[in-house]
């Protein structure tokens, strides 16, 4: 079976691509329909220090953010967000950094951390649409695997900075 993300041929019964780690049959309407054939490199699974400990495939992460004493992750194959709970804040932030680094490796740097509450992290290739609302000071982002997500901002400057960053990265992703 051909991976629609990187173009690598896989076994017919494969669920994930052996080259990029993407779920077989996934196609992002923003980037891949534009003809971008950028191949991703596979990343190893991430073992979290959560309670109880868990293991994640970074290719399944649609987005994640910090939520009080846990990391809320939107993943392929999981309805809604799954929250991993931590007793030690330092371990939680170390796991956030590990997840961010794994997503950077998979996407070759095409990942963004928003300045919104919880510091949401989203791989650019999963973003289908972005809407900015200055009046309500929030971004609405349609994310493949996570649906529509609202991100609230403390002020319009932070919102506009993230919107500009997203638009620039999405444009550069299409041109690669």
On whether residue 21 sits in a domain, the answer given is no
How high is the pLDDT of residue 33?
33
Q: Structural domain tally of the chain?
A: 1
Q: Which whole-number Å values give the CA distances from 64 to 2, 13, 171, in the listed order?
A: 28, 29, 23
Residue 4 lies in a domain: no
Percent of the chain with pLDDT over 90: 60
Range of the domain at 57: 46-175
Residue 6 has pLDDT above 70, yes or no: no
Specify the pTM.
Answer: 0.73
Distance CA(5)–CA(39), nearest Å, equals 7
Per-residue pLDDT averaged across 50-66, rounded? 94
Task: Tell me whether residue 27 is in a domain.
Answer: no
In a domain, 93, yes or no: yes
For 122-158, how does the pLDDT look when each residue is reduced to its tens digit (9 = 90+)?
999 899 999 998 888 999 999 999 999 999 999 999 9
pLDDT category, 15, cuts 50, 70, 90?
Answer: low
150 token code pair: 């609202």
48 vs 8 pLDDT, higher one? 48
Q: Mean pLDDT in the chain?
A: 83
Whether residue 23 lies inside any domain: the answer is no
Domain assignment present for residue 151? The answer is yes
Burial 79-90 (b: 16+ CB within 10 A, else e): eebebbebeeee
Residue-wise pLDDT for 81-114, tens only, equals 999 999 999 999 999 999 999 999 988 889 999 9
Q: Indicate whether 7 belongs to any domain.
A: no
Q: What CATH number has the domain bearing residue 118?
A: 2.40.50
Q: How many residues does the chain have?
A: 176
- Residue 79 reports pLDDT greater than 80: yes
């Amino acid at each position: 079976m051909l991976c629609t993300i990187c173009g690598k041929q896989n076994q017919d019964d494969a669920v994930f691509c052996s080259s990029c780690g993407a779920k077989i049959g996934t196609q992002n309407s923003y980037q891949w329909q534009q003809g971008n054939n950028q191949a991703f490199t596979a990343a190893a699974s991430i073992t979290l220090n959560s309670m109880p400990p868990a293991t994640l495939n970074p290719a399944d992460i649609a987005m994640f953010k910090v939520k009080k004493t846990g990391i809320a992750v939107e993943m392929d194959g999981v309805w809604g967000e799954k929250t991993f709970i931590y007793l030690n804040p330092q371990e939680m932030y170390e796991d956030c950094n590990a997840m961010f680094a794994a997503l950077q490796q998979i996407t070759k740097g095409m990942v963004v951390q928003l300045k919104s509450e919880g510091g949401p992290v989203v791989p650019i290739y999963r973003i289908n649409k972005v809407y900015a609302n200055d009046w309500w000071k929030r971004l609405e982002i349609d994310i493949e695997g996570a649906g529509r997500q609202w991100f609230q901002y403390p002020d319009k400057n932070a919102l506009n900075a993230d919107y500009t960053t997203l638009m620039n990265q999405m444009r550069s992703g299409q041109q690669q």
